[in-house]
């Protein structure tokens, strides 16, 4: 039997301790433990010592049993449907995380309105804004006439009781899970125990009723979904809504999806009338490109199944500091360090006395190692002052040995580049031969030294070494 008395719950990961301590052993966060009453039994759960002792006998099934492939509920917002894997699955639960103000409520209101207009019953429960505020926003987006059922409530028992009345909704949005509280959990609203208890009650409702449930979760400074880390493994899909404050466009990215691929992205642009879909992101990311400046290379990337071209910008300038600065926006710091080390060791560049700044234009976050070649090209270009060919795209992975390795989905990258009017591709030597027939001039590199030589040959002056 568990000991009764106060317990201390880590507000970052949900680990429970019987004694207070400064640092959570489970996730390493400092000062994250707060006192909470003993975790109550799962609200609405049927676990009693009696029923557990006797247990109910259930029939086991085979894998080859009956499956019901419920039709997905398609929102009709292409960029959203792509990320969910082709529409919402009835009875599934989605968690959407993102910084405050990024546009989660806006996106979900648009999805609700689209489904409601399509004849589905949709319920939007706001725990943060009053119904008046939600209406005002809907009006601004021209969605006020959509037959969405709206409520401003925070108690999950009341919400579930209300949802169980009348026709089963196709979609229920809870904005946000951090504002929900359950009367059967003894902790204060906003604590991990409350968030977990509320989420459990709502998820049970979704699973039993067959309604699709979307939970909104806020994100902390370091990019974790605050509190509801504990919710992440209870849900079927986790999507994150990202964007740079200064840019109008937003990226919806799948992080976990039991019903589809996780690497798909949906691109939106925030306008005065809500979010509009961006069906050709490459054109958006390349807009306003300065083709006559050194340090810029176009990377032919792939996000999920979709090729996306982005400009990688580098600035390499002599430093006055003892330890030169390395700053990256939109790419991994450690990956940049690796490319710099390879360029120094195998490309003969001297970067130890230079600050290095790297930026993925437009605010996109690139996760692919295939960006190595474009990053290396932009760095060499900035250092040497050589302008890279404006009509060329770069992709390829760089190994620690300096070898340039082939990457996947070459054909799609080349097709996208050709579609956008590029004339050449600078890519790894070897690998499957998809390039011919793309209409692009192909220039292949097997080693970073070849890349350095190629770019240095275009330099106005020679100061590579």
Site residues (vs ligand TYD, CB under 6 A): 98, 100-106, 137, 140-141, 270, 272-274
92 binds, among Mg ion, ligand TYD, none (CB under 5 to 8 A by kind): none
22 binds, among Mg ion, ligand TYD, none (CB under 5 to 8 A by kind): none
- Residue nearest Mg ion, CB atom distance: 105
Shortest Å distance, C-beta 123 to ligand TYD: 17
Interacting stretch for Mg ion, rule CB under 5 A, among 37-45, 49-57, 105-113, 396-404? 105-113
Shortest Å distance, C-beta 102 to ligand TYD: 4
273 binds, among Mg ion, ligand TYD, none (CB under 5 to 8 A by kind): ligand TYD
100 binds, among Mg ion, ligand TYD, none (CB under 5 to 8 A by kind): ligand TYD
Q: What are phi and psi of 377, to 5 degrees?
A: -60, -40
- Report the residue number, 95 or 377, with the smaller CB distance to ligand TYD: 95
- Report the residue number, 105 or 194, with the smaller CB distance to Mg ion: 105
- Report the residue number, 272 or 322, with the smaller CB distance to ligand TYD: 272
Shortest Å distance, C-beta 263 to ligand TYD: 23
383 within 8 A of 315, measured Cβ to Cβ: no
Shortest Å distance, C-beta 127 to ligand TYD: 12
Shortest Å distance, C-beta 135 to ligand TYD: 12
Interacting stretch for Mg ion, rule CB under 5 A, among 54-62, 99-107, 268-276, 420-428? 99-107
98 binds, among Mg ion, ligand TYD, none (CB under 5 to 8 A by kind): ligand TYD
Q: How many residues bind Mg ion (CB under 5 A)?
A: 1
- Report the residue number, 101 or 460, with the smaller CB distance to ligand TYD: 101
Sequence-ordered list of residues with C-beta below 8 angstroms from that of 144, at least 6 positions apart, any chain: 135, 138
- Report the residue number, 274 or 347, with the smaller CB distance to ligand TYD: 274
Q: Using the rule CB under 5 A, is 105 a contact of Mg ion?
A: yes
Shortest Å distance, C-beta 110 to ligand TYD: 9
- Report the residue number, 196 or 218, with the smaller CB distance to Mg ion: 218
State how far the Cα of 384 lies from the Cα of 465, in Å rounded to an integer: 10
Shortest Å distance, C-beta 56 to ligand TYD: 43
443 binds, among ligand TYD, Mg ion, none (CB under 5 to 8 A by kind): none
182 binds, among ligand TYD, Mg ion, none (CB under 5 to 8 A by kind): none
- Report the residue number, 7 or 106, with the smaller CB distance to ligand TYD: 106
- Report the residue number, 274 or 402, with the smaller CB distance to ligand TYD: 274
Widest Cα–Cα separation across the chain: 85
- Report the residue number, 225 or 374, with the smaller CB distance to ligand TYD: 225
102 binds, among ligand TYD, Mg ion, none (CB under 5 to 8 A by kind): ligand TYD
CA atoms within 13 A on the CB side of 388: 32
325 binds, among Mg ion, ligand TYD, none (CB under 5 to 8 A by kind): none
Binding residues vs Mg ion (CB under 5 A): 105
């Amino acid at each position: 039997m568990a000991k009764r008395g106060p317990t201390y719950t880590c507000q970052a990961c949900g680990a429970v301790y019987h004694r207070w301590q400064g640092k959570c052993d489970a996730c390493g966060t400092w000062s994250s433990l707060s006192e909470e009453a003993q975790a109550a039994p799962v609200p609405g759960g049927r676990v009693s010592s009696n029923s557990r002792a006797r247990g109910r006998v259930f029939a086991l099934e085979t894998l080859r049993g009956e499956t019901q492939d419920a039709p997905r509920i398609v929102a009709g917002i292409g960029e959203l449907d792509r990320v969910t894997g082709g529409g919402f699955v009835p009875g599934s639960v989605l968690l959407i995380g993102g910084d405050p103000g990024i546009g989660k409520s806006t996106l979900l209101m648009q999805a609700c309105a689209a489904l409601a207009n399509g004849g589905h019953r949709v319920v939007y429960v706001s725990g943060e804004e009053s119904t008046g505020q939600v209406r005002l926003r809907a009006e601004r987006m021209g969605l006020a006439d959509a037959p969405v059922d709206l409520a401003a409530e925070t108690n999950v028992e009341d919400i579930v009781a209300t949802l169980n009345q009348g026709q089963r909704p196709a979609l229920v949005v809870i904005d946000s899970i951090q504002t929900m509280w359950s009367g059967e959990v003894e902790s204060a609203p906003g604590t991990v125990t409350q968030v977990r208890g509320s989420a459990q009650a709502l998820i049970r409702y979704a699973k039993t009723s067959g309604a699709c449930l979307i939970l909104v979760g806020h994100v902390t400074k370091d990019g974790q979904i605050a509190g509801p880390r504990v919710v992440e493994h209870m849900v079927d899909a986790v999507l994150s809504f990202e964007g740079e404050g200064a840019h109008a466009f937003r990226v919806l990215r799948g992080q976990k999806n039991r019903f589809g691929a996780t690497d798909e992205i949906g691109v939106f642009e925030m306008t005065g009338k809500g979010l509009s879909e961006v069906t050709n992101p490459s054109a958006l990311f390349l807009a306003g490109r300065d083709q006559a400046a050194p340090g810029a290379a176009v990377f032919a990337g792939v996000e999920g199944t979709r090729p996306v071209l982005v400009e990688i910008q580098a600035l390499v300038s002599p430093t006055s500091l003892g330890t030169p600065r390395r700053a990256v926006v939109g790419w991994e710091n450690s990956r940049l360090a690796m490319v710099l080390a390879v360029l120094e060791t195998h490309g003969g560049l001297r970067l130890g006395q230079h600050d290095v700044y790297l930026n993925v234009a437009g605010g996109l976050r690139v996760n692919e190692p295939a960006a190595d070649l474009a990053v290396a090209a932009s760095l060499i270009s900035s250092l040497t002052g050589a302008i890279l060919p404006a009509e060329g795209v770069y992709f390829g992975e760089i190994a620690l040995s300096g070898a340039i390795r082939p990457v996947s989905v070459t054909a799609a990258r080349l097709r996208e580049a050709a579609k956008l009017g590029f004339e050449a591709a600078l890519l790894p030597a070897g690998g499957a031969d998809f390039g011919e027939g793309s209409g692009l001039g192909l220039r292949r590199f097997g080693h970073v030294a070849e890349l350095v030589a190629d770019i240095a040959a275009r330099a106005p002056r020679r100061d590579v070494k």
